[in-house]
Structure 1
Amino acid sequence: MSSHRASSSVITLYDLKGGSGSSQPWAPNIWRVRFILNYKRLRYRTVWVDFPDVESILSSLGAPPSSFRSNGRPVYTLPVLVDPSRNPGRPLILSNTNNISEYLEATYPSKPVFPPGSRALQSLYAHYIQEVLAKPLLPLLVPLSHQQLDHRSQSYFRAPGGLTGPPSSATNQPLPPGPERERQWLQAKEQFDFLDSILAKNVGDGDGIVAMGFEVSYADFALCSVLMWIRQVALHDGWSRIQHWNGGRWEQLWQKCSPYMDNH
């Protein structure tokens, strides 16, 4: 939907618009929220936002800033979620993936993404995915993501202060040349190999694919959000190899999460 005003009856998720005006979601931190909404079968709609418009739209919406610059100026990032369910006249507006995830779990406990007693470990798992496993992917996926944006968003990304997405220093780096690119994929594979060895410990009292026994949970959505990013921006160079790594474990995880990949 193109309107920037929150609906009075359903949850609204603010997400980044893809390349050439595409409404195909790709940002992993936003996909984590989208997975939860789909898994819990909550009614919601999406407002697609161009990078250059993030600050103006979110500030006019009254969304909490994600952080503040050294000069005190607020920094606005996506995702943002607006939930009018409790008070349509004054809907709750949330930013930050972790805050939104915690809110959705507390407010809509049916079909929990955090099974009892797992919240701390799953949060640690998600932190590992974001801060460790994904790190060698950034020199590959950030330039590829940048290439797929429209010209206006690309120019904004290059401009000082274009801080509503991945770090601008990363977006200004070109895609590594062939041999260096291969080395980067090998570094990424080392992280996936390590995670493969950890998940294999679940074989016997679990399926060895998901983090918690046999059913998907928050930890799996955190990982599958990264897989979604890879598939959207590096289908042939990235996903075509990762889906076969570690005996096809990541393709199997993708299939486990696939029922929750709707994009409203």
Structure 2
Amino acid sequence: MDAFSSFFDSQPASTNRWTYDSLKNFRQISPVVQSHLYQVYLTLGCALVASAAGAYLHILWNIGGILTTLAGIGCIAWLMATPPYEERKRVSMLMAAALLEGASTGPLIGLAIDIDPSVLVSAFVGTAVAFGCFSAAAMFARRREYLYLGGLLSSGISMLLWLHFASSIFGGSTALFKFELYFGLLLFVGYMVVDTQEIIERAHLGDMDYVKHALTLFTDFFGVFVRLLIIMLRNSVEKTRRRRRKGGTKCMDFGLFFNAAA
């Protein structure tokens, strides 16, 4: 066995061959930054649990609406204004903001449960898979490789906001709503990559504010989840309409839910 193992140890290692060490090698990510990322994603997971609890509370007591949306924005502003050394207070503000965000999305989630509960699970799993894949791509990539996309994505967000503002004033067609939906999904997926690499870069420079970084990733995750859920709901309703040629399924205004969630 020693001779057998020494034979493979003596072979030249190929640079293209996958090894377990290459899986553990996060390029230029130091152990300190890896520990910071672990803390960020752990906090993000807790925020997602709080968000799910908020959606459940809405289903029980119908608490979601404009008030929870404004309260969630207030919690985020309070969090950003709180000094980093008040760690417990900032974590509490993040959990409260996530809870209120989940309650605000409660009407959309309740609609998904009424139409097809499997759509809700599929949207969450799809968002989680996309988030994991694109975050891993940002971690394994070279430092600053994707940061240059930030300006392009910011321009796209500005264009999306102006289109949304114009459609709310002058009225928008179904085609415009679909464009906002799919284009917004593309932008938030791009932000998953850019924000992950920006968090890594900031951590290398000494910024270890894991609460703020978790809030950034939570916003990206939620933006993708809401848009993916609306797309799947639309597809489910359209399939039902095809099955019922003589009517029966009333047209639903998904734009109202999208406007509230966006």
Is the structural similarity TM-score above 0.5? no
The TM-score, its normalising length taken from structure 2, stands at: 0.28
The TM-score, its normalising length taken from structure 1, stands at: 0.27
Higher strand share: 1
Higher helix share: 2
Bigger RCO (CA 8 Å, 6+ sep): 2
